[in-house]
Structure 1
Amino acid sequence: MSKEKIVNCVIIGSGPSGYSAAIYAARADLNPILFAGSQPGGQLMFTTNVDNYLGFPIGISGKNFMENCKKQAKRFNTVILYKNVSEVHFSSKKGGTHRINIENSSSLESKGIIIATGSRPKFLGIEKEKKFMGLGVSFCATCDGFFHKGKDVAVVGGGDTALEEASYLSKICKNVYLLVRKNSFKASKLLQNRVLKKKNITILFSTKILEIIGDNFLEGIKIIHNTNKTIQKLLISGLFIAIGNCPNTEIFQKKLSLDERGYILVKRGSTHTNIPGVFASGDVQDPIYRQAITSAGSGCMAALDLERYLSDI
């Protein structure tokens, strides 16, 4: 692509949000170019089964779901580039063009950009953690909790997300072990009180996971209690890691308005960022819901917001 080429719509990211934005933008004749990045399909590529997305009564694998999204975007002639965006130079003027630098390549200019780079979970940093993603290790109770109905599971974390995950799982699982690495919670008092009332939640403070047990899938974990250094084995079918997420916004630091955690700030009820012609959708601007269906919905919003923006300049 020549440096002088100016397009209407560049989408950065290829999860449900990015592909949804591409479909709506393409149908509006914006001729979107989508950068799939180094991890095409986003986090859903590591999800064994998607059971809670509308329109799939028997569920679908995360990989097949994202493949369908890609095919649908291509059907409307979205140009998909399997490259990373290395840098973006935003114009502060309404109607201005934004320059997108492509990793190990040239650059192009666009009147509009939709950022859908998503987020990534924080890992514990232990062996088999990534290997067993979708095979017992999960980062989303509402996504995968159903597969452990009536079984024993564990949640790692002491913040709001961990306690919300534990509370949700307690409704469908037999026993929930809540492993808190420190000797106290970081979560709100409301959530603490809710969890403390649950009879099937066992709270283990000052606890660290030493080992994930299993050959081909998660069978249990080995933990150590830091107070007395005793080691214990827990036989569980699911391990839910809830120690936080990191939005993929490194290349937008000091260029867009971000919150204290790095999530892109958008105007309430829209996908508009603080830069004209730049929109954000999906998990990169949503630290709360983080679901495939909400990401896809905000991708639709971003495309509609961009279409209206272009019609006004």
Structure 2
Amino acid sequence: MLTFDAVVIGSGPAGLNASLYLVRAGLRTALIEKNSSGGQVLSTSEIENYLGFPKGVKGWELADLFTAHVNEYDVEHIRGEVLKIETIEENGAMHVLHMQNGDQVKTRAVIIATGASSRPLGVPEEETYKGKGVSYCALCDGNFYRGLDVAIVGGGNSALEEALYLSRIVNKIYIIHRREGFRGAQIYLDKIRAVPEKIELVTSCVVDSLAGEPTLKKVIVRHVETNEKRELPVEGIFVYIGHVSNARFVPENLERNEQGFILTDQEMQTNIPGIFAAGDTRAKLCSQVCTAVGDGATAANSAIRYLEQLNA
């Protein structure tokens, strides 16, 4: 069984920064990740609101910089997936992480930074068209629709940012939003409204169904007030309607909200001693790269103080 002072689960901005702070404090630290390092940043085309990059930065570039910084230190990288966290008592709280490959990792401090995944659209045809027109990542799949017409569902920053990115690749974009107004930043809306011939706003509408054979050929939307339906001739639809927490492996007694996001205090502490949460996997109002990085630092600082108290 591998034993560490602290273990971070997830290598997005929150997890990477937490690892950096922990190892710099002299703690034997492990960083567990089942996918590529960088988290959701990897699926973001360009980030314009991260301080220090006045001209913006590509998501993958920022992820590479974060990862390279952490790799300067002696962080133990473990590739794999955590299936369960078991809390035991051994001279104070001890947590055992059960890995998918059968390995076990023991630690007194765990920081959960597994982020969130895209919330599904929720129409019956969604599964049928995954990989055949339905996507949740414009940066990953946008090039497949070069010169074609596509739709984007959502009204927040992610939807608007990716619409601007796709506008450089596709022929036309329909932005489908259930409300008349948008939650996204005004700067993005101004850019979108400046190109009405390229991007059409389809407001007060929801996706009713998807159709086409064998790949997606049209999206049927329904007006939320009149129930009037309209067909949009598109070959792709990108879904940005929120996220669901990736922390499905946590102990049953760990407090979460109705959507499954982990509840913490302002110091990133959960209701279980020695377990902390940071980034998009915890319940909060603002999910940005900068807040994830801050969460990671705060969680690490709380974990360091917690371990100091155990050893006092």
Q: TM-score, normalised by structure 1?
A: 0.74
Pick the aligned partner of 2:160 from 120, 145, 148. Answer: 145
Match of 1:35 in 2: 32
Aligned pair 1:270/2:267, yes or no? yes
Instruction: Please show how residues 209-220 of structure 1 align to structure 2 within 5 Å.
Output: 210=210
Deviations 1:153-185, CA, capped at 9 Å, x for gaps: 5144469xx8423977544421899xxxxxxxx
Q: Which residue of 2 aligns with 1:154?
A: 175
Cα distance change on mapping 1:152 and 1:224 into 2, 3 Å: closer
Whether 2:246 is the aligned partner of 1:241: answer no
- Distance of 1:59 and 1:95 partners within structure 2: 46
Report if the CA contact (8 A) 1:141-1:168 is conserved. Answer: no
Structure 1: 5+ residue runs without aligned partners? 178-199
| Equivalent residue letter for 1:154 | I
- Deviation, 1:121, is 1.2
CA distance in 1, matches of 2:283, 2:136: 27
* RMSD, aligned CA: 3.7
- Mapped to 1, the partners of 2:175 and 2:160 lie a distance apart of 11
Contact 2:153 2:175 in 1 (8 A): no
Listed as ranges, the gaps of 5+ residues in structure 2 are 143-149
1:93 Cα deviation after fit? 8.3
- Kindly provide the amino acid, as one letter, of the partner of residue 241 in structure 1: Y
What code does the residue aligned with 1:252 have? Answer: V
Measured at CA, do residues 19 and 116 of structure 1 come closer, stay the same or move farther in structure 2, by a change above 3 Å? same
Match of residue 20 from structure 1: 17
Give the direction of change, closer, same or farther, for the CA distance of 1:69–1:169 in structure 2 (3 Å limit). Answer: closer
Secondary structure class of the residue paired with 2:16: helix
Does the 8 Å CA contact 1:86/1:101 hold for their aligned counterparts? yes
Q: Residue deviations 1:113-135, cap 9 Å, x none?
A: 00001111113334333275223
Paired residue secondary structure (2:175): strand
Partners of 2:284 and 2:134 lie apart in 1 by: 23
- Deviation track 1:228-247 (CA, whole Å, cap 9, x = no partner) reads 554244899x96622x3210
Please point out which of 290, 302, 309 is paired with 2:299.
Answer: 302
Identify the match of residue 49 of structure 2 among 49, 52, 61.
Answer: 52
Shift, 1:273, TM fit: 0.5
1:193 counterpart residue number: none
* 1:184 aligned residue: none
What SS does structure 1 have at the residue aligned with 2:184? Answer: helix
Report the count of equivalent residues.
277
Identity of aligned residues (%): 24
Asked if structure 2 preserves the Cα contact closer than 8 Å seen for 1:52 and 1:143, the reply is no
Q: Is the 8 A contact 1:115 1:279 kept in 2?
A: yes
Partner residue in 1 for 2:231: 231
Distance 1:240 1:131 in 2: 5
| C-alpha distance after superposition, 1:223-280 (max 9, x if no partner) | 34484554244899x96622x321012111513111111111112x210111111110
Distance 1:81 1:37 in 2: 8
State how 1:195-210 maps to structure 2 within 5 Å: 203-205=203-205, 207-208=207-208, 210=210
Q: Quote the offset at 1:285 in angstroms.
A: 0.6
C-alpha change, 1:209 and 1:293, in structure 2 (3 Å) is farther
For residues 138 and 228 of structure 1, what CA distance do their matches in structure 2 show? 18
2-side partners of 1:97 and 1:176: how far apart? 57
